[in-house]
Structure 1
Amino acid sequence: MTRARNPLWRTLVELRGNPRACVWTEPLWGLSMALVLPYASVFMLALGLHDAQIGFLATIAMLSQVGFGLAGGIITDRLGRRTTTALFDVIAWVIPCLLWAFAQNFWFFLAASLVNGALQVTQNSWDCLMVEDAERRQITRIYSLVKVAADCSALFAPLAAVLVAQLGLEPAVRILYVNAAIVMTVKIVWLYLWSHETRQGRVRMAATRGQSVWRLFAGYRGVLGLLLRSRGSLLALAVAALTAAVTLVNGTFWQVVASQHLHVPDALLPFFPMVRSVLSVTFFFTLIPLLTTAVDLKRAALWGFGVHLAGQVTLVAIAAPDGAATGATYAFLGLCLLLDSFGAGMLFMLSESLVALHVDEAERSRVMAIQRTCIMLAAAPFGWISGWLSGIDRTYPFVLTAGLLVLGFVLVAVRWVPTHAEEHPDTPRADLTD
């Protein structure tokens, strides 16, 4: 497939306005958070935290996101998509990065987890900023490009590996967190200057001006009715919740099982997300576009759940070496990365796209706030549960994720609700309620 004909390349070049600003600034994530995330859990272990505490922090972070997420729709409507994104990106990322950089014990990480929950506000406003003025037919490709940008960011992982090898784990990770705070600040300012308020954002700002916060919260009752009456939105909610739970467990404990169970050296840990990301980008420009046609997202969802399940089962099946990781260990980890890069990439794109495709456009920010709140509530217990399981056996969290992926596969197979884009692929914009 040539670059000119590839739909992702074409979308990337054709993007204008807010979608372009959001997608084109996203690679800065790679010079900030993506450098340090592979070390987050092992950094906590190095400072004396144990598995159960790490899992508990993951659950606390999710619960914090629940609170912020519920308020996110109101904040986004009152302040506007653009201002909310800038303000809460500072709260959700810059401040926690500084707390992590100077952390000394569990309480620093707890404070950072609580503040980091504000990411659900900016996730809501950023999604609205990115897709509200976009053409409906571009939405799945826009989210694919976001995932590609995040994956490309892992190409900078060798920088972190060199730093850890030269300075040691703890001082290197502290430096990486300070760097993340600085680069995220640059990203926030750049996006704010390059973007503008959306049409629907201006409508919602005018509609909510002068209304009390309590009255706006009361309006969630009617919005909840919209969600409950939409079978498509409920399906999207279930898919997103299962994806969030699996992502939470993998993001927290994949590096732990590689380091502590399979004895992979710390300096090599960043190379695993780098390889996963390279594979994911390759899939997004080759195989995934063939499976995410406008008329068959169900097939794509089944492939996503099935392949990701195979990756998790493979990880559980790897035998722990007696000493250092062996060639066979790395070979099986490579197979896990191959399967996970496709499955997780597909599920990320679909979980975000299905929510956007089924949502009522007039109430996008509040409906998405409720959906994200429900997703966080559903996923939150799995942080603590997986921490408890990891304390028993480092592979048990991935037995749990395998079960969740089986559930997702069955749900899609028997309860699928087509989007209107699937039913009427030639219609550029349609009523999004079912």
Structure 2
Amino acid sequence: MKRRRNPMIVTLLGLRGNGRASVYTEPLWGLSMMLVLPYTSVFMLALGVHDAQIGLLATISMLSQVVFGLLSGVITDKLGRRITTAVFDIIAWAIPCLIWAFAQNFWWFLAASVVNGAWQVTQNSWDCLLVEDVDRAEIPKVYSLVKVAAEFSALFAPIAAVLVSSLGLELAVRILYLNAFVIMSLKIWLLYRYTTETTTGRIRMQETRGVSIWRSLSEYRGVLALIVRSKGTIFALVIAALVGAVALVNGTFWQVVISQRLGVPDALLPFFPMVRSLLSVLFFFTLIPLLTHARHLKAPTLIGFGVYLAGQLLLVGIPAPGGPAVTATYGLLAVCLMLDAFGAGMLFMLAESLVALHVDRAERSRVMAIQRTCVMLVTAPFGWISGWLSGMDRTWPFLLTSALLVLGLIVAGLFWVTTHAETHDDAHSHA
């Protein structure tokens, strides 16, 4: 009997056009930005940037993303998916990489953070370029391929570790940023070279010709009313905002606390996101589908908040060794990584799913744009707050995330709004 091929492999090999170019160039992200991201906060500390300033930069970056996120739909429609992606990838990644590579103090990082916020425009245009000409039945598998490519890109982390251990933190990170500039520029060129404007993109360019950006933005008022009237959409927004705030704090200060408080050497820092990514991929293919395959998402959401909370509290509770990290420290951090990989993976997927399930289908694109902007606005202050807390005690930002996750448990437990899919499945169920 002929052996059946893995559907993900079939999709990967069968991709053509924009889908193929978008997915095939995605691993270059791992050879560029993923090499340097684990060192971002520690590099700032090495250049004299304080904890509170690092938190402030995270908040300013988020506010910049809010502005660009609001404009993203309008820009993408006017310029087209392909040109928008190329131009704003250069603005959002190539230019900041050069600024980071030669950074001397807080003001360099501030400039790079503001410019880097433009990635919210390419988040919109790249998504459109990826899926608009792909068979609808293949879209979930295409996104799965992108997710797996992003997670596996952490496998390149040892390259950064070798550089840091041999050249020292500051010089190695500057080289890694220059490398990111070159690789990202290559990725941008390859994507532009091997894509064409989508059918929907050509239609929207024609429809928005002669229409001002301000007029297009003014049409968002009617969409806001749709959101406010939907109890389910508000609930999904609250869950997404809580998950986003926890992610912002962890992304900014997780490496700082294990480096500065727990004594993990700089050269080992990239291995932690690598392990977390691999565990996340493992859970995505095993445990998470088992828990989320049913229509009722309340129980898996509560489990996600609970497990993520356990990981954050354990991180706070790890005793500081008073010098280099000891074996027990690494053992407890390994448990933290496992809990974070499962809890965060579960919650990120469920937060996106809840927003999609409650959204008004006729206005999906504009509602999603406003929702993303609202989430970023609510999330933004937590960068500054966590930086202020970290300046007093490196564990305090994670007490803040723990409180946010407890709030998530309360909101999901007491104020759950049944989704359309659940209603269709069982009109009397609320779980």
Q: Same fold (TM over 0.5)?
A: yes
Partner of 1:339: 339
Change in 2 beyond 3 A, CA 1:11/1:229? farther
- What does 1:346-385 correspond to in 2, within 5 Å? 346-360=346-360, 363-385=363-385
Aligned-pair CA distance for 1:280: 1.1
Partner of 1:292: 292
Partner of 1:261: 261
Amino acid at match of 2:383: G
Change in 2 beyond 3 A, CA 1:305/1:75? same
Amino acid at match of 1:319: P
C-alpha RMSD of matched pairs (Å): 2.5
Partner of 2:148: 148
Distance 2:188 2:363 in 1: 25
Amino acid at match of 1:84: T
CA distances 1:339-380 after superposition (whole Å, capped 9, x unpaired): 111121222233334444544455444323212211111111
Change in 2 beyond 3 A, CA 1:146/1:91? same
Aligned-pair CA distance for 1:136: 6.3
Partner of 1:90: 90
Partner of 1:188: 188
Amino acid at match of 1:89: D
Aligned-pair CA distance for 1:28: 1.7
Change in 2 beyond 3 A, CA 1:8/1:354? farther
Please give the secondary structure, in 2, of the residue aligned with 1:70: helix
Amino acid at match of 2:307: V
- What does 1:62-101 correspond to in 2, within 5 Å? 62-101=62-101
Aligned-pair CA distance for 1:233: 3.1
Please give the secondary structure, in 2, of the residue aligned with 1:157: helix
- Name the TM-score, length of structure 2 as normaliser: 0.90
After superposing the two structures, state which structure 1 stretch, 217-226 or 227-236, moved more.
Answer: 227-236
Distance 2:412 2:140 in 1: 18
Change in 2 beyond 3 A, CA 1:313/1:375? same
Change in 2 beyond 3 A, CA 1:195/1:52? same
Partner of 2:400: 400
CA distances 1:197-252 after superposition (whole Å, capped 9, x unpaired): 44443343232221112211211111222333344433332222222211111111
Percent identical across equivalent pairs?
71
Aligned-pair CA distance for 1:421: 5.1
Distance 1:389 1:249 in 2: 11
- Name the TM-score, length of structure 1 as normaliser: 0.89
Distance 2:187 2:163 in 1: 23
Change in 2 beyond 3 A, CA 1:350/1:200? farther
Aligned-pair CA distance for 1:188: 2.0
Contact 1:315–1:336 at 8 Å: present in 2 too?
A: yes
After superposing the two structures, state which structure 1 stretch, 68-77 or 200-209, moved more.
Answer: 200-209
Please give the secondary structure, in 2, of the residue aligned with 1:31: coil
Change in 2 beyond 3 A, CA 1:421/1:208? farther
Distance 1:14 1:412 in 2: 40
Distance 2:137 2:234 in 1: 22
Structure 2 spans left out of the alignment, 5+ residues: 426-431
Aligned-pair CA distance for 1:393: 0.7
After superposing the two structures, state which structure 1 stretch, 263-272 or 130-139, moved more.
Answer: 130-139
Partner of 1:275: 275
Partner of 2:109: 109
Distance 1:24 1:293 in 2: 29
Distance 1:198 1:422 in 2: 34
Equivalent residues, number: 423
Distance 1:145 1:415 in 2: 34
